[in-house]
Amino acid sequence: MSTHTVFRLQSQGSHHNIKQHTEPIPTIDSHEILLKIRGLSLNYRDLAVANGIYPFPVKDQVVPCSDAAGEIVKVGSQVEGLKVGDRVVANFDVSNLYGPQKDWNHGHGAPIDGFLREFAAIPASAVTKIPEEAKLSFAQMSGLVCTGVTAWNALYGNIPLKPGQTVLFQGTGGVSVTGLLLAKAAGARTIITSSSDDKLAYVQNKYGADYIINYKNTPDWAAEANKITGGEGVDYILENGGSGTIKQSIGCIKMGGSIAVIGFLSAAKQEDMPDVAGLALSKGCIVRGITVGSKQLLEDLVRFVVNKSLQPPVEKTFGFSMEEVIAAYDYMQTKMADGRQTVLITGCAPGGIGHALALDFHKAGLRVFATARDAAVLKDLADLGIETLSFDVTSQKDRVRIRETIDSVAGGRLDILVNNAGKNCTVPAIEVSDEDIQSTFETNIFSVVAIIRELSPAIIRAKGKIVNIGSITAVTPYVFGSVYNATKGALQAYSNTLRLELAPFGVRVILVVTGGVQSRIARTDRTLGEDSLYLPINAEYLRRVKHSQEGAMPTKAYSASVAKEVLKKSPTYWLWQGNRSWLIWFLDRFAPRSVWDYIFPSMFGLARLKQIVAKRERA
- Residue 338 is predicted with a pLDDT of 59
Q: Give the separation between CA 136 and CA 313, rounded to whole angstroms.
A: 11
- Distance of alpha carbon 86 from its chain centroid, rounded? 40
DSSP code for 443: I
- pLDDT category at 404 given cuts 50, 70, 90 is confident
Nearest to 245 by CA among 232, 257, 260: 260
> What average pLDDT does range 575-599 have in this prediction?
88
Residues 8-24 have pLDDT tens digits of: 999 987 888 999 999 99
- pLDDT category at 244 given cuts 50, 70, 90 is confident
- Residue 339 is predicted with a pLDDT of 63
Q: Give the separation between CA 116 and CA 591, rounded to whole angstroms.
A: 68
- Residue 239 is predicted with a pLDDT of 92
- pLDDT category at 65 given cuts 50, 70, 90 is very high
* β-pair type (234-239, 166-170): parallel
How close are the terminal C-alpha atoms of the chain, in Å? 97
Determine whether 488 is an active site residue.
yes
Q: Specify the amino acid at residue 267.
A: A
Residue 63 has pLDDT above 70, yes or no: yes
Residue 31 has pLDDT above 60, yes or no: yes
What percent of the chain stands above pLDDT 90?
71
Which of 105-114, 168-177, 267-276, 450-459 bottoms out in mean pLDDT, i.e. has the lowest? 267-276
- pLDDT category at 340 given cuts 50, 70, 90 is confident
Residues 107-134 have pLDDT tens digits of: 999 999 999 999 999 999 999 999 999 9
- Residue 523 is predicted with a pLDDT of 63
Determine whether 484 is an active site residue.
yes
**Cα angle value 113/116/122 (rounded, 5°):** 50
Residue 427 has pLDDT above 60, yes or no: yes
Q: Give the separation between CA 466 and CA 456, rounded to whole angstroms.
A: 9
What are the residue boundaries of the structural domains of the chain, listed by start? 3-142, 148-294+303-307, 337-615
- Residue 535 is predicted with a pLDDT of 93
The residue from 465, 488, 534, 558 that is catalytic is: 488
Residues 281-339 have pLDDT tens digits of: 999 999 999 989 999 999 999 999 999 999 998 989 999 999 999 999 888 877 666 56
- Residue 601 is predicted with a pLDDT of 86
Residue 548 has pLDDT above 80, yes or no: no
**Cα angle value 514/515/516 (rounded, 5°):** 125
Residue, of 258 and 545, whose pLDDT is higher:
258
Residue 267 has pLDDT above 70, yes or no: no
- Residue 337 is predicted with a pLDDT of 60
> What average pLDDT does range 364-372 have in this prediction?
92
Residue 552 has pLDDT above 70, yes or no: yes
CB 338 within 8 A of CB 172: no
Beta bridge partners of 515: none
> What average pLDDT does range 216-240 have in this prediction?
94
- Residue 48 is predicted with a pLDDT of 84
CB 260 within 8 A of CB 167: no
Q: Is 231 left (phi over 0), alpha (psi -120 to 50) or beta?
A: left
Length of the chain: 619
Q: What CA–CA distances, in Å, run from 397 to 239, 391, 392, 400?
A: 38, 10, 9, 5
- Residue 513 is predicted with a pLDDT of 95
- Residue 457 is predicted with a pLDDT of 93
- pLDDT category at 276 given cuts 50, 70, 90 is confident
CB 236 within 8 A of CB 168: yes
Return the CATH superfamily for domain 337-615: NAD(P)-binding Rossmann-like Domain (3.40.50.720)
Whole-structure pTM over 0.75, yes or no?
Answer: no
337-615 has the same fold as 148-294+303-307? yes
- Residue 234 is predicted with a pLDDT of 97
Q: Give the separation between CA 357 and CA 342, rounded to whole angstroms.
A: 13
- Residue 571 is predicted with a pLDDT of 94
Write down the architecture of domain 3-142 according to CATH.
Alpha-Beta Complex (3.90)
Q: Specify the amino acid at residue 393.
A: V
- Residue 128 is predicted with a pLDDT of 96
> What average pLDDT does range 163-191 have in this prediction?
95
Residue 402 has pLDDT above 80, yes or no: yes
> What average pLDDT does range 444-465 have in this prediction?
96
Q: Give the separation between CA 587 and CA 594, rounded to whole angstroms.
A: 10
> What average pLDDT does range 509-518 have in this prediction?
93
- Residue 56 is predicted with a pLDDT of 87
> What strands lie across the sheet with 367-372, from one edge to the other?
387-390, 367-372, 342-345, 416-419, 465-469, 508-514, 574-577
Residue 465 has pLDDT above 80, yes or no: yes
Residue 589 has pLDDT above 60, yes or no: yes
Domain 148-294+303-307 has what CATH class?
Answer: alpha beta
Q: Give the separation between CA 291 and CA 100, rounded to whole angstroms.
A: 8
Query: Considering the chain, what is the average pLDDT of its residues?
Result: 92
